[in-house]
Amino acid sequence: MTIEQQIQTPAPSTPAWAMLRTLGGIAMLSGLLVVLVYQFTLPIIAENQRRMTEKAVFHVLDGAVAKRDFVLTAEDALVPAGEGAEGVHLYAGYDDDGALVGVAFPGAARGYQDVIQFLFGYDPACQCVIGSKVLKSTETPGLGDKISTDAEYLKNFEALDARLDATGTALANPIVPVKHGTKTQPWQVDAISGATITSNAMARAVNDAAQRVVPVLQRELALLSEPNRSEGR
């Protein structure tokens, strides 16, 4: 450890080896304890995390009972997760018969206090967003946190139009927030009055993420809709 040498200024009364012995002993003891606990809790934590992701995915994809993980790499390629690829994690959800329900994708945008993280559900059949969940938010309780409780507002994300344009590389109509009560088109998000910045952030998050993810999903539909059989997760 590097601290030992830096922290103490040796005093004449105690021999240096005694101090080194102590610090070394304590460092070893602490290392041992931490490693033991880490090894013991690792599988439990992984299981917790898996269950939490699963819960969120099934929340945004109504009817899904199983999921498969994919990774969207920086080069816009879609590969199954677990093969060392790095990038945005996407979760394809399947129903009882193993048919594709939709794909959950993450989004993030700066809200009123700090960055808010979301998970959205996309249904390739209707080419629309069918669900949303706030994963992490520090928005004002009672105002900004309505984005996860206000039923009327959440209806926005139950059939939000995300059709692709003719080129297939961008949304035909960017998802935009509009002032409360002025929604006329299926790609508009009716903001909550009193929490405009937060609702705008959510609309921006879904638009930014969908603009990138949806073209790939539509292109890779064959890979995604392979019936989900053995993996069972």
Partner 1 sequence: MAELPNQQESLSLDTFVRGLWEENPVFVMLLGMCPVLAVTNTTVNAIAMGLATTFVLVCSSLLVSLLRNWIPKQVRIASYIVIIATFVTIVDYAIQAISLELYAALGAFIQLIVANCVILGRAEAYASKQRLHTTLINSLGMGAGFTLALLSLGTVREVLGSGTILGIPLFGADFQPWVVMILPPGGFFVLGAWLLLFNWLRLRKERRLQAAAAESAYAR
Partner 2 sequence: MHAEPLSLIFLNAAVVNNFVLALFLGICPFLGVSAKKETAWNMGLATMFVMLVSSAAAYGINWVLGELQLEFLRLICYIAVIASAVQLVEMFVKRFSPALFRSLGIFLPLITTNCAILGLALFQTAKEYDFVQSLVYAVGAGTGFTLALMLMAGLREKLALARVPRVSEGAAMSLMLAGLLSLAFMGFAGLGGSHG
Please give the residue ranges that form the binding site for partner 1 (CB under 8 A).
3-4, 7-11, 14, 18-19, 22-23, 26-27, 29-30, 33-34, 37-38, 41, 44-45, 48-49, 52, 136, 140-143
Q: Are 175 and 160 in contact (CB under 8 A)?
A: yes
CB of 113 to partner 2, least distance (A): 5
CB of 115 to partner 2, least distance (A): 7
115 binds, among partner 2, partner 1, none (CB under 5 to 8 A by kind): partner 2
Phi, psi (deg, nearest 5) at residue 66: -145, 160
Strands 188-190 and 176-178, by their bridges, are parallel
Cα distances from 151 to residues 15, 83, 139, 143, in angstroms, run 70, 39, 18, 14
CB nearer to partner 2: give 87 or 98: 87
The number of beta carbons lying within 10 Å of the beta carbon of residue 33 is: 10
178 binds, among partner 2, partner 1, none (CB under 5 to 8 A by kind): none
Residues ≥6 apart with Cβ < 8 Å to 136 = 115, 116, 117
CB nearer to partner 1: give 17 or 184: 17
The number of beta carbons lying within 10 Å of the beta carbon of residue 202 is: 31
Residues within the interface to partner 2 (CB under 8 A): 1-3, 6-7, 30-31, 34-35, 38, 108, 110-115, 140, 197-198, 200-201
